[in-house]
Chains A and B, each alone.
Chain A
């Protein structure tokens, strides 16, 4: 599938410094509308750090991030989230003591309007808004396949369902871009292949572009329209799955890793 040239996100020359460590070094990266693109690289390559820049958690020491035609480099995280960049976390960070649907309602916070007084008085408008939000939350939970756990506390869900709930919560933000940080971590091969279909379903039904950080190469190769490879903070390759598969630098980066850590994926 050819990538449409219209970009929903364009990050240029991003660098992030942690003390003496250059975790991300002059990386430019864009996301075409409604595409599925991936970011891969060995452990510690700077993938999560790059995510954190896009979502406003870290401010880059160099470079800027454009979201559509709006610059978001210096916006606070909650603002970035509310204008359409939603993420999941590498280590699941659900609100464990809230139910699945409450988790989604929190993510809808910025789209809801009722304030202190209308909440206390439970005005008809506030009630209507709450009901619509709840319906929408349940719909999303059904969509990701955990509708029956809507009123279960998030911490009681199984690992796989928690991963789904993370995606559902991000979708509740009604994002234009969905950033998934190692969503298949801890899944078995069968679950992972189901996940590939799931990603496409999300993209098509929810009209989002998806940026995926992923270690599982079979997932990456079958789901991505474009792959970007980071190694020690630098972008070493970018292209279609076929191009990446045969790229010498990528193979070296990964083989070096595999030899030292025995990582076979």
Chain B
């Protein structure tokens, strides 16, 4: 009995690093399948029409790419919320800033200036045209800057106040863009009209326009993979341990030499970078930036993804982001269409999105608080009662 348990434990210990590898392979395998289906099977004449219709209704390429943008952002938020345990209710601000970086630096919007930075756009085009890959870096950097500016004064606060301040930040930034049509005569954001038509994404082989779903899918998959990689590397290093320690016991962490401010700020900045990158990606996905899209519900939406998937576990967060994004963009509308044509009703299913999310969150908190794919550490606490075998103090296992 005892020996088997010890053996199981040993196995568990050695399996731990490999399991991330398994997940990573799984992620890439699923991505490859999706890519092949949408790049080759879907345009194929021989594909039976029902299958084609089914995929177009229930899993159109846009919904997958949109979900991936959410994945990128949710992974960033996970560093803040899941790793360091800080409640950030204004994450949409970073998404917006990233989006506007794409709008500003990849379009004709600033006609008064003419600057081309490694862009594939004809040099006669007015406006700022910077290579998409550089804009990703710029978007990330600008967001990191804002993350530090916002974080430095607020991260000193107790977590409840932090939530309030970030909430305010998430309201203010989109408002600035919303009303930024005329700031002392300067048009910052084109207000409600937004900025449309972004430069194509140069890849060296060909330029990707708004309808190159397949190639952009690959780019988004890789960006999300990069975020996963960064999260996992940071997590097992010096900084990741300090985040976890702060999440566990802030006071004890500071007594052990962990500088609270700097460490929290680092998590906030890393999260902000991901938000910026996600913002740039989203802008290229919808081929524009629209101020009204950046609202509070996105912050909550992202938070729900992190909670649903499993706070602190990147694979859970990916799953959570995919599920919720899909329900929002495709699942509910498609269900509504099917239902309404079937029964001749006229119910507005998408309007129930947030009711559904609220329900999902409540059910999660009640029955599966650690998320769909929990972080191993959290599973331990939250199911204390039902798994008391695992809970026995270690020394008792010797007996």
Contacts and interface: CB of A to CB of B under 8 A. Distances in A.
B233 A169 contact: no
Given A120-B234, A157-B393, A110 B258 contact: yes
Given A109-B238, A161-B395, A120 B230 contact: yes
B237 A126 contact: yes
A157 B237 contact: no
B393 A156 contact: yes
A102 B266 contact: no
Nearest to A118: B237
Contact of A78 (B233, B241, B258): B258
A97 B380 contact: yes
Interface string A18-34: 00000000000000000
A156 B266 contact: no
A89 B253 CA distance: 12
Contacts of A102: 241, 244
B251 interface: yes
Contacts, number: 119
Contacts of A81: 254-257
A159 B13 CA distance: 23
A15 interface: no
A95 B255 contact: no
A240 interface: no
A211 interface: no
Nearest to A179: B255
A98 interface: yes
B115 to A, nearest CB: 29
Interface residues of A, number: 47
Contacts of A122: 233
Contacts of A79: 259
Interface in A50-94: 55, 57, 76-79, 81-82, 86-87, 89, 93-94
A93 B234 contact: no
A57 B245 contact: no
B248 interface: yes
Interface string B235-246: 001111110110
B298 interface: no
A97 B377 contact: yes
B394 interface: yes
A82 B380 contact: no
Interface string B376-388: 0110110000000
Nearest to B391: A156
B255 A106 contact: no
8 contacts: A57-B255, A78-B260, A79-B259, A95-B249, A96-B248, A116-B234, A159-B393, A170-B256
Interface of A: 55, 57, 76-79, 81-82, 86-87, 89, 93-98, 102, 105-107, 109-112, 114-116, 119-122, 126, 130, 149, 151-153, 155-159, 161, 169-170, 173
Given A77-B255, A82-B257, A109-B258, 8 more contacts: A78-B254, A79-B259, A89-B252, A106-B244, A116-B239, A116-B266, A116-B270, A120-B234
